[in-house]
Amino acid sequence: MTKVRDLDLTDAATACQLLRDVAGLNREDPIRRGSLLEFGAAGQLVMTGDLHGSQRNFQKLQRFCALDRSPGRVVVLHELIHEEPDPPLAPDFSIDVLLQAALWKTEYPDNVFFLQSNHELSQLCGHEITKGGRSVLGDFERGVEQRFGADAGDVLAAVNAYIESLPLAARTAKGIFLAHSLPDGLYAESFDLSVFEREPTRADYEPGGAAYALVWGRFQSTAVLDVLAERLDVEAFVVGHTPQEEGHARVGRMIILASDHNHGAFLPIELHKKPVPEELEENIRKFVSVE
């Protein structure tokens, strides 16, 4: 039997099978209820921000988590794809980090988890994102083509199968809500909470849909966060999505993380503790601190 670590991630058939296997793990996860992951009150959860193909920070995260000797630790990943190419006209090779994260999931299916994000959702639905005049989806697809040649279409289809399988959010037993982002003020009181109790539909993924509003929302005020906390019956939020030059920020009861650059950060959370936003902020770690 082939060991997981012996898989050749440059082989298109292997990459496709890996992504589809992980899609199955995501859908059948025993802690998943509808489109929500529910974590208990024991152990440690490591929450990340947007990774956007950052090889260096992903590898540091793996070293910090040390899942081979830390069975009580879980890690939550989101927005793995769509790096900013350097130089700007270079292809986007964030498929590499996505495949490495998928491999990590197959090695530790009870410890590695993923959430939906706006960039993954845009890739799935073909909603173009432009940055600095470049096509983000086009750059990603060019990178997949350079990696897999004539089989790139098969790999992109498997990427879409993976994206469709992603849960929308997670919560802990002590009242922390984890998501890529949160609905903005326009939707705070009307947001359809039932989307967390079921599998999202294509309508949920389109503009005006609940999943779209969740992953694209930005600039939530403390008043909006209080409304969402009451509706969701939680104490604190940890999200990504909004760029953070210093790697993190706090707005009231919400921690915002960015994990995709030299100042990137992540947050270890002790699941048995009642969440206090100020204490969560104090526990944020920088990737540069990881050897």
What is the distance between the terminal CA atoms of the chain, rounded to a whole angstrom? Answer: 33
Average pLDDT, the chain: 95
What is the per-residue pLDDT for 177?
Answer: 98
Per residue in 253-283, pLDDT (tens digit) is: 999 999 999 999 999 999 999 999 999 999 9
Structure tokens at 219: 């600039």
Q: Model's pTM, two decimal places? A: 0.96
What is the per-residue pLDDT for 5?
Answer: 61
| 286: pLDDT strictly greater than 50 | yes
Domain boundaries, the chain: 8-289
Q: Name the nearest CA neighbour of 287 among 270, 263, 268.
A: 263
What is the per-residue pLDDT for 105?
Answer: 98
Q: Among the CATH numbers 3.40.50.280, 3.40.50.300, 1.10.3720.10, 3.60.21.10, which is that of 8-289?
A: 3.60.21.10
Residue 199: exposure state from Cβ atoms within 10 A (0-12, 13-18, ≥19): middle
| 121: pLDDT strictly greater than 80 | yes
As a whole number of angstroms, the distance between CA 234 and CA 26 comes to 24
Position 85 confidence tier, pLDDT thresholds 50, 70, 90: confident
| 1: pLDDT strictly greater than 60 | no
Segment 220-234 shows an average pLDDT of 98
